[in-house]
Amino acid sequence: MANKKVFDVRLLRRLFSFARPYKRSFYGSITMTVLLAILSPVRPYLIQLTVDKYIANQWIQALITVSIIQVGLLLLETVVRFLFSYLTNWLGQSVIKDLRVTVYKKISHLNLAFFDKTPIGTLTTRTINDIEAINDIFSEGLISIIADVLMIVAILAVMLVQDWRLTLISLSPFPLLILATYIFKESVNKSFYQVRNAVAALNAFVQEHITGMVVVQAFSGEKRESVKFKKINREHRTANIDAIFAYSVFFPVVEIILASSLGLMVWYGANQVLNYQVTQGVMIAFIMYLNMLFRPLRVLADKFNTLQMGMVACERVFKVLDSDEYLPDTGTLTAQNLQGAITFEHVSFAYKADDYVLKNISFEVKPGDTVAIVGHTGSGKTTMISILNRLYDVQQGHILLDGKNIRDYKLSEVRSRIGVVLQDVFLFAGSIYENITLRNPAITREMVENAARLIGMHEFITQLPGGFDYAVMERGSTLSLGQRQLISFVRALLYNPAILILDEATSSVDTESEMLIQHAIDKLISDRTAIVIAHRLSTISKADKIIVLDKGEIKEMGTHEELLKKEGFYFKLHSMQFKKVADKI
Ligand SMILES: Nc1ncnc2c1ncn2[C@@H]1O[C@H](COP(=O)(O)OP(=O)(O)OP(=O)(O)O)[C@@H](O)[C@H]1O
């Protein structure tokens, strides 16, 4: 929040590079700025002429001409003001549209490790609120300040040329104005900073609590949470009231300073008029000049704050743009004909430096085989599939696909040939159809329907109101977990990946759904390599290979029968986790 940031040239230059495609409106608004500065002192000057020459000498014709010119000038000024306001806002909106898209694109390509340490709320604020503040740099900040300063300079210059003594006398209360403006700016700045923090806290609170309303209500936490919400709102109100207080004090103070300025001018000017040193026209013009000077001065402090807030936002947004947390994508291999062989060679991985959650993992999967990964919670199963999909790069060892290092493939190729079905299926607000195709135009309706038939979902979907056009609510909350997973099965099948990663849902479903899911899984994993974090005994027992993970290490590996025969770790795990299920079967 340092003051220096208002004119951080490096930042401004970078921001204005986004205005480059809109050069015409940029130069247009600058032209309007200059025109406004030139036009401002003309009307008071013409009034001075009118009073001193045309009225004093009763030059009727000149009086009529000058009145027409005045009306013309007024109209011209209105048009210029309109163009100025329209162009600066147009420019601002166009720049932030581009900036938002750039930031979103950037965020969507960042590596997952970045999201592990950056809260969602922060990224939403960067793409929405901060960029809105940047718009203000164009619409209310920089160009507007330049316009005001130019106008002030033009008026001051005309005043000084007209009568420098009268100008100095009228402006003698100005240091007071500068002091008042400075105090006002500082206090409003501080309050606005607090307001912004309070708004961020409000956003985060509401977002989190609406998402987690089930937990709040289930644990009867409504009252406790309301108290917390009230507290944040109180901070928001206090910060806003502090700002309002500063405004309420500042504006009357400016009026008093303007009145003293006018008073001093009239007192000195009237004396001079009596001594024939100053004309009546000059005095009238000066009243207008002083009013014109105070108008921008009154809002200048506000505009500086806007600019300052915009610059802080700008710096934050650029920080996201400068983030280089990408996975290196230097590979050149394509994966169109991937057979699906997977090799892990002494792979170790840590999310945080040296805190290894996978240690020295080695195994092989032949194309078309199904591998089940089992292990206690926290043993590293999800991590294993994340590194296989190259969401993270491993620190030690290698992962090979068809015998070639996963890093030698283009990242997009790896991801497009490896399909993922996660346990907690994320559905977007939209139709079921859109959730299945993910807006890929290459996938036709017929293909979707066929895939749904194959998975055994077709009947269920067509029975929903609207069928495939059934509107899925946010995060798919109106569908059951099993139904959501089945939809993601259809999605995965359509993308026809060479390798399928499946994180089986642990939730228990009714027998009918269980059969549907089992059938769907069988369909999905046949004819392709499949890595399944398995919770169903039937999936595990059918797997070509079972990898038993414990605390990040492979404890045992083999088929169901082999491992049971061993009577080791898997045997114990099996009797603990699957006994009950097995008894039922
Ligand atoms: N994004 C992350 N950042 C830091 N640590 C993580 C992250 N994700 C997981 N971990 C840690 O890595 C370890 C392995 O987690 P992982 O999710 O792979 O286990 P899991 O076997 O899939 O567990 P579960 O069966 O409960 O899903 C855990 O100790 C976990 O705390």
pLDDT exceeds cutoff 50 at 482: yes
For ligand 1, mutation pick of 115, 118, 351 (most atoms within 8 Å of CB) = 351
Chain mean pLDDT for the chain? 86
Residue 379 alpha carbon, nearest atom of ligand 1 = 21
Residue 373: which region, alpha, beta or left (left: phi > 0; alpha: psi -120 to 50)?
beta
Q: Tell me what pLDDT residue 585 has.
A: 42
Instruction: Say yes or no: 550 and 436 in one domain.
Output: yes
Q: Tell me what pLDDT residue 516 has.
A: 78
Give CA–CA dist 310/325, Å, rounded: 25
Tell how far the Cα of 378 is from the centroid of ligand 1, in angstroms: 5
Burial 348-377 (b: 16+ CB within 10 A, else e): bbbeeeeebbbbebebebeebbbbbbbbee
In a domain, 2, yes or no: no
Q: Tell me what pLDDT residue 3 has.
A: 46
Question: Cβ(331)–Cβ(20) under 8 Å?
Answer: no
User: Where is the domain boundary, 96, 129, 163?
Assistant: 163
Instruction: Say yes or no: 159 and 241 in one domain.
Output: no
Instruction: Say yes or no: 41 and 106 in one domain.
Output: yes
Question: Cβ(536)–Cβ(560) under 8 Å?
Answer: no
pLDDT exceeds cutoff 70 at 412: yes
User: Where is the domain boundary, 277, 299, 326?
Assistant: 277
Q: Tell me what pLDDT residue 476 has.
A: 63
Residue 380 alpha carbon, nearest atom of ligand 1 = 18
Could you tell me the CA-to-CA distances from 227 to 195, 197, 205, 210, 427 in Å, in that order? Answer: 19, 19, 12, 16, 33
**Pocket residues for ligand 1 (CB within 6 Å)?**
116, 351-352, 357, 375, 377-383
Q: Tell me what pLDDT residue 302 has.
A: 80
User: Where is the domain boundary, 97, 129, 163?
Assistant: 163
Tell how far the Cα of 358 is from the centroid of ligand 1, in angstroms: 10
In a domain, 313, yes or no: no
Atom 6 in ligand 1: residue holding the nearest Cα: 351
pLDDT, tens digit, for every residue of 529-576?
999 998 877 778 888 999 999 999 999 999 988 988 888 888 887 777
Q: Tell me what pLDDT residue 507 has.
A: 59
Instruction: Say yes or no: 566 and 432 in one domain.
Output: yes
The pLDDT of 425-454, averaged and rounded, is: 86
Instruction: Say yes or no: 401 and 540 in one domain.
Output: yes
In a domain, 390, yes or no: yes
Q: Tell me what pLDDT residue 578 has.
A: 62
The lowest-confidence range among 42-56, 439-453, 569-583 is 569-583
Instruction: Say yes or no: 156 and 171 in one domain.
Output: no
Instruction: Say yes or no: 386 and 374 in one domain.
Output: yes
Q: Tell me what pLDDT residue 359 has.
A: 94
The lowest-confidence range among 15-19, 217-221, 554-558 is 217-221
Instruction: Say yes or no: 350 and 495 in one domain.
Output: yes
Instruction: Say yes or no: 439 and 347 in one domain.
Output: yes
Atom 14 in ligand 1: residue holding the nearest Cα: 380
Q: How many domains does the chain have?
A: 3
Instruction: Say yes or no: 352 and 489 in one domain.
Output: yes
Instruction: Say yes or no: 381 and 489 in one domain.
Output: yes
Instruction: Say yes or no: 41 and 175 in one domain.
Output: no
In a domain, 129, yes or no: yes
Structural domain span for residue 113: 23-163
Give CA–CA dist 114/110, Å, rounded: 7
